[in-house]
Amino acid sequence: MQGTYRRFDPAFSGKVVRIAAALCVAESLATIALLVMWVPAVSPCRTWQPSSGAPEPIYGFIILTGLLALWTCILAIFWKHFAGLVIAQLRFDERQRTSTGWFAGLYRFMQPFRVNYTALLTVIFLSFAAFVGIPLLIILRHCGP
């Protein structure tokens, strides 16, 4: 990774993904801790089957958000490799924009917009952290004593 590109700053995006991974882990642990310690044992939220007055089975949603938190942590751990892939794609984009031929013309036709990848990845990573927090909000709102 060499420095900052016009549309991608790997250092800033790396910090954002690390923050998002830390938030995801904290939210996942808080969700599991609340489900185990705060929600009463007779609560309909603790059952695997939907019952009257309970939200949909929350365990499937917790597993889904746990997998998303795991993916965010993997991205944070292997960020340099992932950033290298993004940089390689940006270099390929630049070569295709400056080359001639029918493939380059097709490529320029298909890629008319220049995306700011730093902003895009920031929004994606922070929305991962927001999505992982949804089961925590469901438990706080519907499953308490």
The whole-number average pLDDT for the span 11-40 is: 92
- Which pLDDT band, with edges at 50, 70 and 90, does 140 fall under? confident
Exposure letters 51-65 (e unless 16+ CB within 10 A, then b): eeebeeebeeebeeb
| 12 pLDDT higher than 70 | yes
**Looking at the domain assignment, is residue 94 inside a domain?**
no
Distances (CA, A) of 134 to 42, 66, 127, 129: 22, 11, 11, 9
Q: Above 80 in pLDDT, residue 50?
A: no
How much is the mean pLDDT over the chain?
Answer: 82
Reported as half-sphere exposure (CB side, CA atoms, 13 A), residue 88 has a value of 6
Give 102 or 21, the one with higher predicted confidence: 21
Total number of domains in the chain: 1
Indicate whether 57 belongs to any domain: yes
- 81-109 pLDDT tens trace: 999 998 888 887 777 767 777 666 666 66
Is the residue at 99 inside a domain? no
What is the radius of gyration, based on Cα positions, of the chain?
Answer: 21
pTM here is: 0.79
Tell me, what's the pLDDT at 61? 86
> Which pLDDT value is given to residue 1?
45
Residue 91 lies inside a defined structural domain of this protein:
no
Range of the domain at 33: 10-79+114-142
